[in-house]
């Protein structure tokens, strides 16, 4: 996936270099290049944290015995 991101940034960078004005080129690179990549990084990190949290909860259940079926009667 990293090669796709690098290729995307390269293509958008080349498009930004051909822009008439410096401001237009920077805006193009920031809007069409960096914004989607940052969104992808944020979503990937969020998924990794959720996976890690899920794995940690499974480990805790394994350590405690993993059977919480009768927890309701213990709570009364």
4 pLDDT tier (thresholds 50, 70, 90): very high
Q: Which residue has the higher pLDDT, 17 or 1?
A: 17
pTM of the complete model: 0.65
Buried-exposed string 30-61: b where 16+ CB fall within 10 A, e elsewhere:
eebbeeeeeeeeeeeeeeeeeeeeeeeeeeee
Please report the pLDDT score of residue 15 as a whole number. 96
Q: Where are the domains of the chain?
A: 2-63
Q: Which residue has the higher pLDDT, 56 or 44?
A: 44
Query: What is the percent of the chain with per-residue pLDDT over 70, rounded to a whole number?
Result: 75
Q: Which residue has the higher pLDDT, 58 or 50?
A: 50
């Amino acid at each position: 996936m990293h090669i796709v991101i690098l290729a995307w940034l390269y293509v958008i960078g080349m498009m930004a270099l051909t822009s008439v004005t410096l401001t237009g080129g920077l805006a193009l690179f920031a809007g069409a290049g960096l914004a989607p990549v940052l969104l992808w990084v944020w979503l990937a990190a969020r998924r990794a944290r959720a996976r890690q949290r899920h794995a940690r909860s499974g480990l805790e259940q394994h350590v405690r015995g993993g059977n919480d079926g009768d927890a309701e009667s213990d709570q009364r």
